[in-house]
Structure 1
Amino acid sequence: MPVDIRVPPASASHNHNNHMLLRDNAIAVWLDWLVTVHRPRRLAAVQERRIRRARANAVISAGHSHTLALRADGSVACWGDNEFDQAPPAGVEGDFVAVAAGYYHSLALRADGSVACWGRNGDGQAPPADVEGDFVAVAAGDKHSLALRADGSVACWGDNEFDQAPPAGVEGDFVAVAAGYYHSLALRADGSVACWGRNGDGQAPPADVEGDFVAVAAGDKHSLALRADGSVACWGDNEFDQAPPAGVEGDFVAVAAGYYHSLALRADGSVACWGANYLDQAPPAGVEGDFVAVAAGGDHSLALRADGSVACWGANTFGQAPTDASRLGELNSTRFMTEVRIL
C-alpha cells in the first residue's frame, strides 16, 4: 500500500509563530550590531569631532590683560596691555598655527614646529631667539612656558620655583598641554591627565587625574578637563565657584580657564560661563553665538565666531576685551583663523 507522505498545510498560527521568530532573530542581530559596531563607531566619531573642536582653541588666547589671535594668513594679531611688548599693536608676522598668552609674555607656534616668543623674559619664559623643536602645541603660564613635541613629550622653560617647568621636560605620550599660574597639565593619549607644579589648592595633584578626557585648561589655581561625553571635570580652588567639584554637565566641545572664572563652548556654538563675574567676565546666563573657540584671561573673555570674527567681554582696562563697535570693527576687518592647521 502506498504511504502518504504529503505534509499537511501549516496552520496560520504556525506561520505566525515562524514570522515572529524570524522577526525577533532579526531584531536581535540588529541590536547586537548597534551595540558592538554602530554605537562604538558613532561614539568614536563624536569623540573625534569633540577633540577637533577643542583643539580650535589654539587659534585664540588670553593672558593676564592682553589677547592674541591668529589671522587667516598665519600672522598674529595682538591687543591689550603691551608694557613688556607682549602685545605689539602691529601684531607679529609669520606662518603660525597656534598661540598662547601668559601673564606678560606670548608664544606662537610656527608651521615648521619652532616656537616664537616675545614679551617679558625675566625668568626665561620668552627667549627672544626661537625655541627650536618639532612642536605641535604650546601653553603659557604666569612665568613659564610649555611646548608639546610630536613624540608626545613636553618641553618646559621659564620659572620653575614650584616644579611647574622642569628644565629636563616631562616624558610621556601626551596629546595636549595647559599652563596655569604656577602649575602645568598634560593630557595623555589614554585620556588621563598628568599634573605638576604648585598644588596648594589641589589644582595639580601629583597622581594622575583619571578619566576619558579630550581637552584640558588651567587657570590661576584651578583646572578643567573636558570629557569625551561633553561634561567638564573641575578641580582646585573653588572660592568663586570656578571649579565646582561635581563638575559641569553639558554638551561641551572646548574649555578655557581664567584666573577665577571658567568658560565652556557648547556644541551649538553658545558659551557657558561660571565663577567670578565682578567685571562681567563670566555672565551666569552665558553668551549666545555661533562660536568655534573660547579663551579666558585674567578678568576677560573672548570667543571666536565661525565667520572668523571675535566677541569680547569682561575687563577692558588695557583694551584687552573691547566691546565698542569701532574697535571691534577694526579687529575684525581681517578674518581670524577658525581651524588649526596641525595638531
Structure 2
Amino acid sequence: MSSQHRMKNVMPVDIHVPPAFMSASHNHHLLLSLKDKAIAVWLDWLVTVHRPRRIAAVQERRIRRARANAVISAGYRHSLALRADGSIVCWGDNSFDQAPPAVMEGDFVAVAAGNDHSLALRGDGSVACWGDNHNGRAPPAGVEGDFVAVAAGYFHSLAVRADGSVACWGDNRFGQAPPAGVEGDFIAVAAGYYHSLALGADGSVACWGENDDGQAPPAGVEGDFVAVAAGSFHSLALRADGSVACLGRNDDGQAPPAGVEGDFVAVAAGDKHSLAVRADGSVACWGENDYGQAPPAGVEGDFVAVAAGYYHSLAVRADGSVACWGANGIDFQAPTDASRLGELNGTRFMTEVRIL
C-alpha cells in the first residue's frame, strides 16, 4: 500500500486540543456550573429563609426590650419604679398621694405615672390606682379586668385587655378616653396631655383625642412599629428597624418631622423632650433641655428602660439600678445624690416585663 493511500485513511486529529484535555475542560466547566448552582441555592436560602429569620429575631428582641419600659415611669413631678420582687417604689411630689414614700407591696408587673395620679398592673390583670381622682382617672378601688398593659395621661388612663381592646377612664373632653373604650387588636398604649395612642398587633398605630399639633392623626399611622410613647403634645413611635418616627409639636425639637435615625430599642416622651435607648444601652436625648432633662450628648450607660416626666428623666440599668437626671426641685423626683440613689437602689429594680 502506498504511503499516499495510507495517509488518506488516517483520521484527522486536532493537534492543538488533545482529547484528554477536552474531557478535563468539559469536567471543569461542569464543576463550575454545579458550583454556581450551589452558590445560587445558598444565596436564595440566605435571602428567603435566613435573612427573614434573622430580621424576625432582631425585631422580637426589640419588641421585648421596648416593653421593658413598663418597669419605670415618670409623671409631672413624681416617679415610679417596679422592683424585681413585684413591689413599687415611688418618689417625688406626693401632694395627691400619687407617690407614697412607703414601698407598695404586691405582685405588680407594670407601672404608669400621669400628672398627679399613678397606675400599676397586677399579675392577675387588675389595675391599682392612686393619687388625684378628679374626673375618675384613678378610682381608689382600682379597675378590675384582664389587662396586659397600662398608660397614664395628664388627666386620663388607659389599659389594654388580653383580647386587644382598650379600656379608658378619666377626662374625655377631647375624646382621649371614650368611656366605651376602643376596639381593636392592640398590644400597647400611650397617653399624652389630651391624646392617646395604641400600637396594633400588625405594627400600625391608632390615635384618638386632640390633634391640634398633629400628635394624634385620626386615621392613625401605618408602619412596622414596635413601641409608642406620648408626650404632652407630641408622639413617638419606634420602628422595627430601630428608627423613631415623630409626630406633633416640635417647638423645642422634641418631634423632628423627619424622625430620628438609629438602632433604638425603647422610646419615651416627656413634656417637650424625648428619649430613646440604643441597642448598646446608651440613651439619646432631644428636645428641651432647660433643666438638664435631655442633654444633647445623651447619657452613657447600660440601660434597658427609660422614662420621661415633665422636666425630668429616669432610666433603669441592666443591673437593676436606676439613674435620674433633669429637674429635681423640692420634690426630689430625679435625685442624683449618692445617698438618695443608694436608698432607691437598695433593692434591685425589675429589668424585664413579666407580661405581654
What range is the shorter-chain TM-score in?
over 0.9
Matching of residue 184 in structure 1 with residue 184 in structure 2: no
Match of 1:43 among 45, 52, 55: 55
For residues 286-323 of structure 1, the C-alpha deviation after alignment (integer angstroms, 9 at most, x for no partner) is 00000000000000001100000000000001100000
Instruction: Tell me how far apart the structure 1 counterparts of residues 211 and 276 of structure 2 sit (CA, whole Å).
Output: 23
**Alpha-carbon shift at residue 15 of structure 1 (Å):** 2.3
Three-state SS of the structure 2 residue aligned to 1:128 is coil
Q: Which residue of 1 aligns with 2:7?
A: none
Structure 2 counterpart of 1:109: 121
Query: Matches of residues 321-340 of structure 1 in structure 2 within 5 Å?
Result: 321-340=334-353
Q: Distance in 2 between matches of 1:208 and 1:321?
A: 34
The 3-state SS of whatever aligns with 2:136 is: coil
Name the CA distance, whole Å, in 1 between partners of 2:283 and 2:324: 12
The correspondence for 2:91, drawn from 79, 85, 91, is 79
**What's the offset of the Cα at 1:10?**
4.8
Aligned residues: 337
Aligned-residue offset at 1:91? 2.8
Q: 1:171 aligns with which of 161, 183, 192?
A: 183
Aligned residue in 1 for 2:285 = 273
Provide the C-alpha distance between the structure 1 equivalents of 2:280 and 2:322, rounded to a whole number of angstroms. 17
1:64 alignment partner AA: Y
Deviations 1:177-217 (A, max 9, x none): 00001100000111110000011110000002011000000
Match of 2:300 in 1: 288
The corresponding residue for 1:200 is 212
Task: Determine whether 1:88 maps to 2:69.
Answer: no
Matched, 1:135 2:150: no
Which residue in 2 is equivalent to 1:4? none
**Matched ranges for 1:202-281 at <5 A:** 202-281=214-293
Aligned partner (choices 156, 172, 182) of residue 160 of structure 1: 172
Structure 2 Cα separation of the partners of residues 184 and 229 of structure 1: 24
CA distance in 1, matches of 2:309, 2:20: 83
- Taking only the aligned residue pairs, the percentage that are identical comes to 82
- Distance in 2, matches of 1:125 and 1:251, equals 35
Q: Secondary structure at the match of 1:11?
A: helix
Deviations 1:102-137 (A, max 9, x none): 000000000000000000001100000020000000
Q: What is the Cα deviation at residue 16 of structure 1?
A: 2.0
For normalisation by structure 2, the TM-score amounts to: 0.93
TM-superposed CA distance for 1:23, in Å, is 1.1
Alpha-carbon offset, residue 9 of structure 1: 7.0
Deviations 1:30-62 (A, max 9, x none): 010011111111111011000000000000000
**CA distance in structure 2 between the aligned counterparts of 1:326 and 1:320, rounded to whole angstroms:** 14
SS in 2 for 1:45: helix
Counterpart for residue 15 of structure 1:
27
- Structure 1 residue matching 2:89: 3-state secondary structure: strand
Paired position in structure 2 for 1:3: none
Question: What is the distance in 2 between the residues matched to 1:71 and 1:32?
Answer: 47
Q: Distance in 2 between matches of 1:260 and 1:91?
A: 30
Larger radius of gyration: 2
Report what 2:38 is aligned to: 26
Q: Which runs of 5+ in 1 are unaligned?
A: 1-6
Amino acid at match of 2:109: V
**Normalised TM-score (structure 1):** 0.97
Q: Deviations over 1:203-239 (max 9, x none)?
A: 0000020110000000000000000000000000000
Give SS of 2:341's match: helix
Residue 8 (structure 1) shift: 6.2
Structure-2 separation of matches of 1:9 and 1:222: 75
How big is the shift at 1:12? 3.0
Q: Per-residue deviation at 1:19?
A: 1.7
Alignment match, 2:355:
342
1:52 maps to 2:56: no
